[in-house]
Amino acid sequence: MKSVGIVGGGVSGLFSAYYLLQEGCEVTIIERGNFADGCSFGNAGMIVPSHIIPLAQPGMIAKGMRWMLDAQSPFYVKPRISSALVKWGYLFWKKSTEKHVHYAIPHLRDLSLLSKELYQELASQDDFAFGWEEKGLLMLFKNPGTRHEMEEEAAVANRSGIEARLLSGKETQALEPHVQLTVEGSVFYPGDAHIYPNQLIAGLVSYLKKSGVRFLEDNVVEDFEIQNEKVKSVKTDSGSYSFDEFVIAAGAWSPILTQKLGISLSLQGGKGYSFLAEGLETKMQIPAIMLEARTTATPMGGGVRFAGTLEIAGTDETINMNRVRGIHHSIRQYYPDLEVDFPEEEKVWSGLRPCSPDGLPYIGRVKNFNNLTLATGHGMMGLSLGPATGKLVADTIAGNKASVGVEAFAPGRFN
């Protein structure tokens, strides 16, 4: 029986543990915090096979430069002297091409569809209840000029086997008859789904503990011991632990850990914010992305979770209420009848999404190490791609044929 140590208890780490158990492995999860925190808890909860176009795409840099001038905009890069940030920005610019988009689409599609299939399997089991609902996703837009852009995006999705319907404002309203919308139109992706992230994470942790997975919470990794091209042990502030195999699934903190192993990993933390509006007199049915504002709305637990912004801020976890104000301001622009109070700071959740420069995750073996696997870099798709990532990690460690092609996700692709 192989022993596996997973550094990081987010959604990728938990699903890696879940599928490694199925391969007969003995699993330990080492987490710097505890399982009341983490990037997945305040997630918008969307499972989105529709998201097959990577963040690195033509026009994104110009758009980002315009947004950076607005304190409430959906995108921001925190100014700082950082060679890692400069390298990340250069690679992002280099990958923002049509060629890269065409390359990335089938890989993201296959990974997303595998994840959805695994979520469906999980939802059918009695052990798990996490609010799985397949009601699709609405990409709402207000500007007439956006229609052409979304028409092209819908065409790309349909050509790739992902159903997409371009709707008028009236057709969009017909899908949401119980909540008023002020939009020019939308793209409807009927194959998307949503969940309640809090229930998923709590359910996974409970199941894994009952199944014998060891959890080492509040353990900060200080170093690794290396021997003969293998990681021999991980040293934490509470002790040293040895395993046959190691997985780094530490989200935005992954580059700090890989650096201790002499591995340069280009990845930046993209801070996002969310808050749950409870007690709303609304019967919103379908999760939505408000395109121009880059804000999301997800019916969840009797309320609506609003989320948004991408603030490239390294590992800075402080809350910038200007960003939250931008999210709040956008709601009435699309849903004019929703009376949503501006949240108090203590009720705002923030989390760091681990963003690779090309919009593709890092999943797989690390060069020069025979027993080290990475599972990070999913950006805003961490929850959506969690099960497929865990399955690929288990495939790798068990020596199975990969469930989908993994060459595009190679951790050493920029080295």
Dump pLDDT digits (tens) for 262-276.
999 999 998 899 999
Q: How far apart are CA 377 and CA 251, in angstroms?
A: 7
pLDDT of residue 400: 96
Domain that holds residue 365: 3-40+199-264+359-409
- Residue/partner pairs of 218-222 with CB below 8 Å, 24 or more apart: 218/31, 218/32, 218/33, 218/34, 219/30, 219/31, 219/32, 220/32, 221/7, 221/30, 221/32, 221/250, 221/257, 221/260
Contact residues for 4 (Cβ-Cβ < 8 A; gap 6+): 20, 25, 26, 27, 28, 243, 244, 245, 246, 247, 397
Q: How far apart are CA 326 and CA 413, in angstroms?
A: 36
- 37 pLDDT more than 80: no
Residue from 374, 378, 376, 354 nearest 364 by CA: 374
Same domain for 254 and 237, yes or no, is: yes
Same domain for 180 and 316, yes or no, is: yes
Same domain for 178 and 285, yes or no, is: yes
Domain endpoint, select from 355, 375, 393: 355
Q: What distance lies between CA 336 and its chain's CA centroid?
A: 29
Q: Is residue 76 part of a domain?
A: yes
- 392 pLDDT more than 60: yes
Half-sphere exposure of 49 (CA within 13 A, CB side): 29
Using pLDDT thresholds of 50, 70 and 90, give the confidence band for residue 65: low
- 380 pLDDT more than 70: yes
pLDDT of residue 335: 96
Q: What is the CATH number of the domain that holds 86?
A: 3.30.9.10
Same domain for 274 and 373, yes or no, is: no
Same domain for 158 and 248, yes or no, is: no
Using pLDDT thresholds of 50, 70 and 90, give the confidence band for residue 378: very high
Contact residues for 204 (Cβ-Cβ < 8 A; gap 6+): 14, 15, 18, 128
Same domain for 164 and 81, yes or no, is: yes
- 67 pLDDT more than 70: no
Q: How far apart are CA 318 and CA 27, in angstroms?
A: 33
Contact residues for 267 (Cβ-Cβ < 8 A; gap 6+): 88, 252, 254, 255, 354, 355, 356, 357, 362, 376, 377
Same domain for 350 and 389, yes or no, is: no
Q: How many CB atoms lie within 10 A of CB 369?
A: 18
Using pLDDT thresholds of 50, 70 and 90, give the confidence band for residue 3: very high
- 329 pLDDT more than 90: yes
Q: Is residue 280 part of a domain?
A: yes
Q: How far apart are CA 140 and CA 379, in angstroms?
A: 22
Q: Is residue 109 part of a domain?
A: no
Using pLDDT thresholds of 50, 70 and 90, give the confidence band for residue 258: very high
Tokens of residue 394, six digits: 């288990």
Same domain for 25 and 159, yes or no, is: no
Same domain for 281 and 142, yes or no, is: yes
- Average pLDDT score, the chain: 91
Q: What is the CATH number of the domain that holds 379?
A: 3.50.50.60
pLDDT of residue 260: 96
Q: How far apart are CA 215 and CA 17, in angstroms?
A: 11
- 139 pLDDT more than 90: yes
Mean pLDDT for the stretch of residues 57-64: 60
| 221-227 sheet: strands from edge to edge | 221-227, 230-236, 239-242
pLDDT digits (tens, 9 = 90+) for 191-249: 999 999 989 999 999 999 999 999 999 999 999 999 999 999 999 999 999 999 999 99
Same domain for 222 and 350, yes or no, is: no
- Total number of domains in the chain: 2
Mean pLDDT for the stretch of residues 159-170: 96
At residue 411, φ and ψ (nearest 5 deg) are: -60, -25
Same domain for 285 and 344, yes or no, is: yes
Q: Is residue 122 part of a domain?
A: no
In degrees, to the nearest 5, what angle opens at C-alpha 62 toward C-alphas 58 and 63? 90
Q: Is residue 163 part of a domain?
A: yes
Domain endpoint, select from 355, 370, 396: 355
Q: Is residue 285 part of a domain?
A: yes
pLDDT of residue 22: 97
Q: Is residue 110 part of a domain?
A: no
Domain endpoint, select from 337, 355, 373: 355
pLDDT of residue 72: 56
Same domain for 316 and 238, yes or no, is: no
Residue from 61, 83, 95, 9 nearest 356 by CA: 95
Q: Is residue 116 part of a domain?
A: no
What whole-number percentage of the chain has pLDDT above 90? 72
Q: Which residue's structure tokens are 């709303």?
A: 280
pLDDT of residue 61: 55
